[in-house]
Homo-oligomer: A and B are copies of this chain.
Amino acid sequence: MATAARTAPVDKRRVILDAAVRVFGRQGFHHCRVSDVADEAGVAYGLVYHYFNSKEEILNTLFLERWEIMLEAITEIDERDLPVRDKLYSIAGFIIDSYRHDPDLMKVIIVEVTRAANSFGAAHLDKISEAYERIAAILEPARADGSLKSGIPAEFAAMCFYGAIEQLLTGWIFGLLPTTDEEFERAKGLVVEAICGGLESTPAASA
């Protein structure tokens, strides 16, 4: 296993992308220079432009790479034969684990793209809303079969669900919520319980 290549075949493009995640996450897209990314990656300034046409393209690449994975994950989850609540738990779990695994990347995606309505958010509107639509697609059949309230439109419910999760991520990003593994795990169940079961205690539940 240690018999890898003498000289590790580093993919400089990948190195630059990974460095950009750290730099964008630390300083923010607008508050860092391309040279910061190059320095962090340990490559020459110009190499960044050898692989990317602009600073923006780096961010776009990071976003699209990760967002596509999430969209596929949602689709894959939808195809499973599970109750809605379990599907939503899986989605919440995927997103939260994504953050746990690479908080900087998720921070960049959320702060610089998803929530940046004036700049990159607008540019990737289609991709972003595709996530809401796929979640809504999970909810819709459940409304039909009576397991979800028919009075709440699926698109609306999807927004609430996703919004709650993103708010939790924001809480972790901002340091407002504790970031232990237990908390992450607990959050998965709580957010689903809050959204699906509601905050209010029910007579049956209290019984």
**Interface residues of A, Cβ cutoff 8 Å to B:** 25, 27-31, 85, 107, 110-112, 115-119, 121-122, 125, 128-129, 132, 139, 146-153, 155-157, 159-168, 170-171, 173-177, 187, 190-191, 193-206
- Nearest to A132 among chain B residues (CB) is B176
Complex alpha-carbon distance, A170 and B115, angstroms: 8
Are A160 and B195 neighbours in the complex by a CB distance under 8 Å?
yes
Are B206 and A146 neighbours in the complex by a CB distance under 8 Å?
yes
Are A159 and B167 neighbours in the complex by a CB distance under 8 Å?
yes
Tell me which of B115, B149, B155, B199 contacts A157 (CB under 8 A): B199
User: Oligomeric state, in number of copies?
Assistant: 4
Q: A30-B30, A152-B190, A167-B159 are in contact. Are A125 and B174 (CB under 8 A)?
A: yes
Tell me which of B149, B162, B166 contacts A205 (CB under 8 A): B149
Q: A146-B206, A167-B163, A168-B163 are in contact. Are A118 and B156 (CB under 8 A)?
A: no
Tell me which of B111, B148, B201 contacts A199 (CB under 8 A): B148
Tell me which of B155, B161, B187, B201 contacts A149 (CB under 8 A): B201
Which residues of B lie under 8 Å from residue A122 when comparing CB positions? Answer: 174
Tell me which of B117, B146, B147, B174 contacts A129 (CB under 8 A): B174
- Nearest to A157 among chain B residues (CB) is B199
Are A199 and B107 neighbours in the complex by a CB distance under 8 Å?
no
Q: A164-B160, A177-B159, A191-B160 are in contact. Are A119 and B31 (CB under 8 A)?
A: yes
Complex alpha-carbon distance, A151 and B30, angstroms: 41
Which residues of B lie under 8 Å from residue A173 when comparing CB positions? Answer: 117
Are A149 and B116 neighbours in the complex by a CB distance under 8 Å?
no
A sample of 18 cross-chain residue pairs with beta-carbon separation below 8 angstroms, ordered by A number, consists of A28-B116, A28-B118, A85-B200, A107-B117, A110-B115, A116-B116, A132-B171, A132-B176, A147-B201, A151-B190, A156-B194, A157-B194, A157-B199, A160-B199, A162-B167, A195-B199, A197-B198, A202-B204
